[in-house]
Amino acid sequence: MSERMPATPIDTGKPSAWSGDCLVIGVCEGNKPQEALKLCGQGVEEIVHTALAAKWLHGKAGESLLLPMPAGGASGARALLLIGLGKRDEITRERLRGIGGTIFAQARKSTLSTLLCLIPLDRQGLKRSVAAAALAEGVLLGSYRFDHYRQESPENERFQPQSFTLAVRKEDAAAVDERLKRVRAVVDGVFLARDLGNHPANVVNPDYLANQARLLGERHDLRTTIFGIDELQAAGMNGILAVGQGSRNHPRLITLEYRNGGDKSPLVVVGKAITFDAGGISLKPAEKMENMKYDMSGGAAVFGFLQAVATMRLPINVVGIVPAAENLPSGTAQRPGDIIRTAKGVCVEVINTDAEGRLILADALHHAERFQPRYLIDLATLTGACVVALGVECAGLLGNDKRLMRRLQRVGEESGERLWPLPMFPEYQEHIKSDFADIKNAGTRDAGTIMGGCFLSRFVEKGRPWAHLDIAGTAQEKTGRPHVPKGGSGFGVRLLCAFARKHMMD
C-alpha cells in the first residue's frame, strides 16, 4: 500500500571502489567537508573544494548540490551529492533524519537509483552507529508515499530509488547493522500508522480498525479482543457507546496484547480513534472538516507501535487499547445536556458533543486497569487548544508521575517526537465540576488542554503512573518535511518504541 526504499545495506569497503549511481558526502557549515572525503580519490576532492570555493554550497543544514562525477572519482558512480549538515556541534539525531529525507528527495528528483553515503564515518557529537541509524531512518521515513487512490503518481514521485548504502568502518558494522534492523521495524510501524490516518473515513471506520487489529494479531501472534455493542453494554462503557450512537458504524473497543516479558507488568498504551469527527450535535465548522479523518491518529499510533514491538521481539509485555467510534450528528446522536454513567461509575454531563474524545478514553483508561500496568500512556488528538498553545512543533504532555513524564520528554528529544509538559494544579479540577453530575466534559475555554487532562485523570487509579499525550498539533503534517511527507505523520510510534526499549527492558 505505502512504499519505502527497499534496502539500506552497509558497506565496509573503500568508497573509491564502490560502484553505483551516486556518492553522498556531508559538508558542515563554513564549507568544511567531512574527513571521509579523503577516501574518495583526488578527483572527487578537487571538485568538492572547487564547489565550496565558488560558494555553490555553504553547508547549512538541508542544502544539497548535485555534481557530475569527475574522471578518476569513485569507480562506477555517475554523480556526487553534497549535503549540508549545519554547524558541526549542533548535529542531532533529528537533524540527521531530516538530512536523510533530503537525500531521498534529491535521489528521486534526479533519478538516482543506488547511493553510497559517507556521512556516518565521522564523529559529530554522536556515536557513529547512532548517527548512521538516524540518517537511514530519515531516508526510509522520507521514502513514504500513499498512492492507494491514485491511478497514476505525480511525475515528481514516480521514480523510486532502490538502495541507500551506508559506508561504515569495520569495527562499527555489527552495531550499525543491529540498529538498522530496529530502524526498519520502527519505520514499518510508522508507515502503518500513516496509512491508517491517510485512508478516508468512508474506508476507515471502527469495524475496519477491528478487522485490521485481527490481521495484525494473526501476523504477529498478538492476542486480539474486540468489544462490539453487546460487550460494551455489558461492561457499562457508556462513554464509547454515547459517542458512537449517532453513526450507523457501531463503536468498538480493540485490545491487542503482546506478551514476551514473562510475568512483568505491562506497558499499556491507549489511543483515541474517532474515525471521523464532525463534532456531533455541536457541529464543527465546514472549513477543513475533511481533516477530521485524522482524529483516530492516537489509535493508529498504537497499532504501529504494537507492530514494531512485535517485529523487534522485545522481551517486554505491552497492551494496546483502542476505543473506536465515529462522531456524527443524527436523530440518534447524544445531545448537549445528556448525562452518561461511565464504566467506572463516574457520571459525566455532556456540555459539548465535540469534546467526545475524552468520553471514549474515560472507558478505555478504566478498562486498562484490569491489566495492572507498570505505566499507562494515552495518545489523543484531544484539543484544538493544544495546537494554539504549542503549534505543530511538539505534543502536549500531562500526567500524574513526574518521573514518567521526564522519561517521556527525554526519549521524545531522542526520537524527534518532542513533548512539552503542562501543569495540572488542583485548582484546575474545579473547572470541570458539574451542577448535575460528578463532572462535565467541557469547562471554560481557558486552559482547554489542561481541562482535557484533568478530565482523563478522574479515570486513572490512584498511584498508577500515567501520562497523557495531546497530539492534536503533531498527528497531521500539513506542509511536509523531508522525512515527514504531508498527511498522517505517525507521531508517537517512534517515541513509544524508544520509551519501551529504554524503560521497559530492565
Residues 6+ apart with CB under 8 A from 146: 1, 2, 194, 195, 198, 487
Q: Which listed residue (344, 358, 418, 458) is catalytic?
A: 358
Q: Which listed residue (32, 87, 259, 284) is catalytic?
A: 284
Residues 176-186 as b or e (16 or more Cβ within 10 Å = b): bbebbebbbbb
Q: Is the dihedral of CA 481, 486, 491, 494 positive or negative?
A: negative
Q: Round to whole Å and give the CA distance between 293 and 40.
A: 49
- DSSP structure string for 12-24: -S-GGG--SSEEE
According to DSSP, residue 256 is labeled: E
Pair 505, 316: CB distance under 8 Å = yes
Nearest to 392 by CA among 309, 254, 484, 326: 484
- Alpha carbons within 13 angstroms on the beta-carbon side of residue 370 total 12
Is 284 an active-site residue? yes
Q: Round to whole Å and give the CA distance between 399 and 421.
A: 9
How many other CB atoms sit within 10 Å of the CB of residue 1?
10
- Partners of 166 in the beta sheet? 10, 117
Pure H helices in 81-202: 93-109, 128-142, 173-198
Pair 111, 159: CB distance under 8 Å = yes
Q: Round to whole Å and give the CA distance between 376 and 364.
A: 11
User: Which element (helix H / strand E) includes 406?
Assistant: helix 402-415
Is residue 223 exposed (0-12), middle (13-18) or buried (19+ Cβ within 10 Å)?
exposed
Is 259 an active-site residue? no
Active site residues: 284, 358
